Amino acid sequence: MRWALVKVSLAVTAMVVVAFAVPLGLVIREMARDRAFSNAEREAAAVAPALSITTDRDQLERVVASAGSDAAMAVHIPAGDGSGALDIGERRAAAEDIAAVRKLGRASTSTVSGGSALLQPVALSTGEIAVVEVFVPESEVTNGVGTAWAVLAGVGVALILGSVAVADRLGVRMVRPAQRLVEGAHELGEGKLGARVPEEGPNELRLAAVAFNSMADQVVQLLANERELAADLSHRLRTPLTVLRLNAASLGDGPAAEQTRAAVEQLEREVDTIIRTARDAKPQTAAAGPGAGCDAAEVVRERMAFWSALAEDEGRKWRVAGADRPVRIPVARADLAAALDALLGNVFRHTAEGTAFAVDVHNGEDAVIVLVSDAGPGIPDPEQAMARGRGSGSDGSTGLGLDIVRRLAESTGGDVRIGSSVLGGTEVRIWLQLDGRERAPRRRGHRGTVRRRRGPGRLTASFNRPRSLP
């Protein structure tokens, strides 16, 4: 493309130069010829007054000498009144040409050796016609023409070279962004997701680069979302795996029981491997749009009905508070269920059998709080636990359980906090913002703030008062 543009520019400029330089060169040659013959006419006109007065040879020689060069001018006077013909100066023109000018009485030019001769007729006092001959050498006719043509040729070459240089720069300015766009497309096609194109060059190519970079960002985001979805779905498998592991533990001894437990453990390891492989993707959880969402109370009742069977098998006391009336939240039903399963699965996985747990739902004017608490040993370092939730899992934990919960809360503008529960163990608070705006810091005692203090079965709040454990 670059060389094609240069060739086109070269051809167009050459045509323009030829179209203007050739006629201009011809005009310059004609101007030089006209200048030379105009000078010859002025010299001939200087002799005409003397010829109309006298035909004396001496006087005419002095006039010719003063009017021009003796070698360039000649005067031809015909014979008359008893006097013979008189020729002053060197005659170059043919006799028949002089006779023709005398007969016609009109100026004329004739080609002679070394140039041209201007033949100018002049009427004498006797009525005869004299002819003044002025020699115009070829060098005078072409004086300055060669220099002018050389200047025109130099200007034409300079214009051609300049146009080629400008076309080359324009071609580079157009071709380089296009080449970078092609290279970026090849790199992206080869799997180099970090390939981007500089947004420079002509407006069209700049817009193409912007569109390419946006497309590349979308591809990266889509792949990240796919990996995150794979991690999410894999993590949701841990809920039935937990049930399967607990049921396998109650099978007793025997080869079949051992094989079942080994298979369950291997399946858990494979699920953990899938989650760890996919967890590097940047999470993105979109909040539900207007009119979408689910009933948090209904989801809590449904998931607690599922986990209550396991709780009875392990002798765990449990309770649900605040789920007796609808509580609308702007998140998808499946996302809330996955978050609850992740937290309740952690309770069963990381606390001893017989450990009590509870789920409380608090409905406020601008937010909904879901509390999942247990009576286990607690978490000594909540900040580190949240760090694991962001992707630094340890042995036996993928670190994505709290990450699922955090993304769910942040999709509404809320957050997740880990603290000590009134049951003596861990409490995970999920703050779900109802209007989708980022939650501002709240002062203690402000409306919608949960206030709690230590004590058996004591939990006070400005939302709903929970029931105690059965």
**DSSP type of residue 429:** E
**DSSP type of residue 392:** -
Q: What is the structure's pLDDT at 231?
A: 64
Q: Is the torsion defined by CA of 80, 82, 88, 91 positive or negative? A: positive
Q: What is the structure's pLDDT at 138?
A: 83
* Gap between the Cα atoms of 59 and 206, Å rounded: 87
Chain segment 91-108, per-residue pLDDT in tens: 888 888 888 888 888 888
User: Tokens standing for 462?
Assistant: 């400005």
- DSSP H or E run through 116: strand 115-123
Q: What is the structure's pLDDT at 238?
A: 67
Range with the poorest average pLDDT among 38-42, 128-132, 165-169, 456-460:
456-460
Higher pLDDT, 83 or 311: 311
Percent of the chain with pLDDT over 90: 13
Chain segment 71-80, per-residue pLDDT in tens: 678 888 887 6
| Angle ∠(370,376,381) on CA atoms, nearest 5 | 80
Going by pLDDT thresholds of 50, 70 and 90, the confidence category of residue 318 is very high
Total residues belonging to the chain:
470
Yes or no: say if 60 and 49 are a contact pair by the CB < 8 Å rule.
Answer: no
Q: What is the structure's pLDDT at 289?
A: 41
**DSSP type of residue 368:** E
Closest CA to 428 of 363, 360, 368, 333: 360
Going by pLDDT thresholds of 50, 70 and 90, the confidence category of residue 321 is very high
Provide the CB-side half-sphere exposure for 98 (13 A, CA).
21
SS3 155: helix
Chain segment 46-62, per-residue pLDDT in tens: 877 877 777 777 777 77
User: Is residue 105 packed enough to be buried (19+ CB in 10 Å), middle (13-18) or exposed (0-12)?
Assistant: exposed
Cross-strand bridge partners of residue 73: 134
* Gap between the Cα atoms of 253 and 34, Å rounded: 127
Residue 442 has pLDDT above 60, yes or no: no
Chain segment 228-260, per-residue pLDDT in tens: 666 666 666 766 777 777 777 777 777 777 777
Cross-strand bridge partners of residue 120: 132
Cross-strand bridge partners of residue 361: 370
User: Tokens standing for 200?
Assistant: 């420079």
Yes or no: say if 304 and 360 are a contact pair by the CB < 8 Å rule.
Answer: no
- Rounded to the nearest 10°, the torsion over CA 157, 158, 160, 164 is 140
Q: What is the pTM of this model?
A: 0.41
Q: How far apart are the first and last CA of the chain?
A: 82
User: Is residue 35 packed enough to be buried (19+ CB in 10 Å), middle (13-18) or exposed (0-12)?
Assistant: middle
Chain segment 116-135, per-residue pLDDT in tens: 888 888 887 777 888 888 88
User: Is residue 20 packed enough to be buried (19+ CB in 10 Å), middle (13-18) or exposed (0-12)?
Assistant: middle
- DSSP H or E run through 307: helix 296-314
